[in-house]
Structure 1
């Protein structure tokens, strides 16, 4: 009959006698986890230096998850067959699982304990160690890379382009403007309460093409943008600069002052629309209090032509890039200088930002209000 009494052993590190737990599995050789760690450190006194990754593992995969989700949404809008939808959903699910592995690995590299990982994932620490051990994660991510390589070789269009690494060149102005144009159209569409099919029927476009426009996969021509803006009760002028930048269209270098002012205001409102039309209070908060609510309202209404500092703060607060707006701002101020001192052949035209009822010019008005909270 087997002995059912307590079992004892001698710790391989501290040589102290201890009672074994009796749990199934590998025979217990150390009295405490601390002794086991000390023994491991002594066996490997010079561990390999930690590899420094310029980009967290999870971030690359998160960008891929976003691209796959957009593709799935476009397919659903386009009423693709069930087999296609389920295949894309399966790929998205696998990518999310890879993301979880990579996110845990990133957290561990930053010093997060297994207990903290387990709490975040609502599992036990033992399960977390088993599921996301470094060797396991490395093996899974290696398999993911092989899967993507094979898939790209079979059909390059089935996967989104690999995301840029940090330190590489940023997104080009045309790409930024195309993304903002899609966001603006999508926000107008949501406010219209029209389905993709209703939009397609009203514009003589296919549902698939409309959904790709809204997701940013297709860059429409200007007549289509005008049709969509009119259908959604939007202002095509607010989308014009985004569309021109996306297509690389260069406006005339010299424009009458009212035209230059109108283009700048429309561009700012286009970025505002692409940001889902946040309230002036939210924009005020996003600028860190730099811009007052009054200045924000007047800028959006076109009552005030902002100076460059105000323009930069506003553009960044609504998710835009100041360098994309700089040519429009400079065109306004060049036209203003021409208005003040016209050369031969230039006709003076009324200034849209003369003194207001209180006698203040544009810059006097801004200097007084810039610090308002």
Structure 2
């Protein structure tokens, strides 16, 4: 009986990707196009961190920074005798510590530390470490952190903190996620999105998530997408893993091949490339792109994580309402994305509504209709 053709194979070196000639001979199938290419890849992998290792390093830095800010808030709340608020933030700190412990374990593995040595530091047996903090567990914590940390803070409605001493700022007792009161004296109200429980992804990460979600929705394989975009399957894989930022031509072909809207992807691509968005890119389309990158949660779910109503969020996606800039910031951060790349689009929307002579750079109130 003739064995089934396994299909084309490609070199595992991501900088090569050449087809591999897998004949009918015996022995293990080849993984690289030749021995020289394999040795070069293994040597480069040992000398430089992998994309996964870089992601672990970045995640550890962000969690450590967030934990520092949360602890500072807890100290302030403790000194102003606000125990309920401090206890709510303490839950955040506990989760941050668990996230930090998980990613530090993975960092040690990336550095090829022995499993027994890592377990000893935590007071665990090696088999307990492998079971409780496997690589999959760390990856799940990294993926679930943005929404998990946002939903953990819930203050009792009847809890009213005592007046803060005059020597302390009133904002010291504010819990992340609460709406800030307007400041007097003509000063600008601080952004709601600058809270320690916000974890916006970088523009490149948002683009990667959007393209990956499109690929999952389409059900297409890497080989099929490679044929549609006229690149190699290994290159498509690197784009979906965030290792490569494609050109707009490839990103557009990829989006069309997956049945997506290029207008939603183009603002994300421009932000990932560090480019200013063009006037053809509308604010609603950019928000829909962020929505896609977050796997399109329902408006009522987003409303639970923001101070916006489901109707207002839907209006922002549909373009039937022009929100205030702080609402754009809050929605973007609820979608785990940075808001600043949207600022030129919001300014353009304000200018189009008010007209060239009436436009000012300040925030505007929400317009419905």
Q: TM-score range by the shorter chain?
A: 0.3 to 0.5
The structure, 1 or 2, with the larger RCO (C-alpha pairs under 8 Å, 6+ apart) is 2
Structure with greater helix percent: 1
TM-score (norm 1): 0.46
Q: TM-score, normalised by structure 2?
A: 0.46
